[in-house]
Structure 1
Amino acid sequence: MTSEANIDTHAAVGATVRARRRERGLSQQSLAEASGVSRKFLVDLEAGHERAELGKTMAVFHAPGLSLTASDPMPRGSDYDPARRDYAATFTQLISSQDFELAIKMLADYATASLNAGKPLLQRSPRLNDPHWSAALAGITKYTAHRLGQPAPSWTERVKPLNEAWMPAESYRTVREPMKKLTMSQTPAELAALNVFIRERSLATT
């Protein structure tokens, strides 16, 4: 039976591709190779990147048997609406699968969605087993709350600073010293206080 999904945002495109890829048991690398695109392009596409090229996007759709049709708008579910996404479950899954590149992109997605929603979307602790990613999410939650002029959720106060400086980007690639210095100088205070370093421009696009 053929299933249909309404695709009217960049996030919906990414969610549809990601769901079909997982349904077919494909890794990001294998789908990228089958589509003739780079893994980075596929990571960006699944994360809802707004500048994804249409031709490459269509190639990714065709590889696992997806197609596009025009239809009347339908209500969007939590998979397509960042404001309703279960970020705790999302990060748990990404970190357990060691998909750190996409996890970093989802940090920015979480920050932007929280600012757009007018409140930090993680009002309860995500209860991650990894202290690094727990600190990153706590720092971003504090950062978004501060930008919105709100108190941060109480769970963020229970997260302790890391013993050493940590950049999430180092989870999957080498960060050169000049970029480390630039990142540390442009990290919001809420993250720096937890010894997590991400450039502010990489966090929020709103």
Structure 2
Amino acid sequence: MTSGSSIGTPAAVGTIIRARRKGRGLSQQTLADRAGVSRKFLMDLEAGHERAELGKTLAILAALGLSLEATDPLPHGGDNDPARRDYAETFTRLIADRDFEFAIKMLADYATASLKAGKPLLQRSPRLKEPHWSAALAGITNYTAHRLGQPAPPWTRRIKPLNEAWMPAESYRHVREPMKQLIMSETPEELASMNVFIRERSLATA
């Protein structure tokens, strides 16, 4: 953030944010409103909560005129640029490695990157061997195309809906019934039509 600030722990981030907020005479609610996050999230962040989301944290830092600084230059190349990432290869690798938790995060990354790029980034079928993930990618591709007012890539029409409802989150953890109902109620139509259920707020971060 500054040349004299060392950020090595969540507690350090929280301490700096709290000090800057108080120094500017801002209440937690005022800062939360400016950053577009909940007051509960800001409270947890200032308390050094270790599971605070990075995107929301960066929004709070920006609202305070702060930023993170890396000591190494940012890497370049397709793997480090979402707009140039080979998502077909990425998902093939993640699913083969059974890294389902990160694969779910990459679903959101794919949706966000597509919305920012102004087009679905998977213009060709990823040709995954796992029908569940193929259906998820087709649904998200249709979702981003619809939000951008564009026709979906032709390959999505060749992907058949799943026979049973599927939530990607259940690939690596148990989802309780109340949460299942919430997820199903907040899933975009394009995914629900594929029998894949992901909350829209988990995808539309662009």
Task: Give per-residue Cα distances to partners, 1:108-140, cap 9 Å, x unaligned.
Answer: 000000000000000000000000000000000
Partner of 1:173: 173
2:116 paired residue number = 116
Q: Residues 41-190 of structure 1: matches in 2 within 5 Å? A: 49-50=54-55, 69=71, 76-190=76-190
RMSD, aligned CA = 2.2
Shift of 1:69: 3.2
- Could you list the runs of 5+ residues in structure 1 that have no partner in the other structure? 1-39, 54-67
Task: Specify the code of the residue in structure 1 equivalent to 2:71.
Answer: T
- Match for residue 64 of structure 1? none
Q: Which residue of 1 aligns with 2:191?
A: 191
Which whole-Å deviations, capped at 9, do the CAs of 1:73-102 have from their partners, x for residues lacking one?
A: 78x311211000000000000000000000
The reply on whether 1:203 has 2:203 as its aligned counterpart is yes
Q: Structure 1: how far apart are the matches of 2:128 and 2:57?
A: 31
- 1:50 CA displacement: 3.3
One-letter amino acid of the structure 2 residue matched with residue 146 of structure 1: H
SS of the counterpart of 1:88?
helix
Offset of residue 70 of structure 1: 5.2
CA distance, structure 2, for counterparts of residue 70 and residue 154 of structure 1: 42
Alpha-carbon distance, 1:204 to partner? 1.8
Query: Matches of 2:93 and 2:78 in 1, distance apart?
Result: 16
Q: Distance in 2 between matches of 1:82 and 1:129?
A: 23
SS at 2:83's partner residue?
helix
1:50 partner letter: G
Please give the per-residue CA displacement for 1:18-71, whole angstroms capped at 9, x wherever unaligned.
xxxxxxxxxxxxxxxxxxxxxx96xx99xxx43679xxxxxxxxxxxxxx6356
Gaps of at least 5 residues in structure 2 are: 1-49, 59-69
| TM-score computed with the length of structure 1 as normaliser | 0.66
In the alignment, the residues of structure 1 paired with residue 202 and residue 116 of structure 2 have an alpha-carbon distance, to the nearest angstrom, of 16
Alignment of 1:4-23 (within 5 A): none
Q: How many residues align?
A: 146
Indicate the structure (1 or 2) with the bigger Cα radius of gyration.
2
Matching residue of 1:9: none
Shift >3 Å, 4+ stretches: 49-53, 68-71
Give the distance between the partners of 1:87 and 1:93, measured in 2 at CA.
10
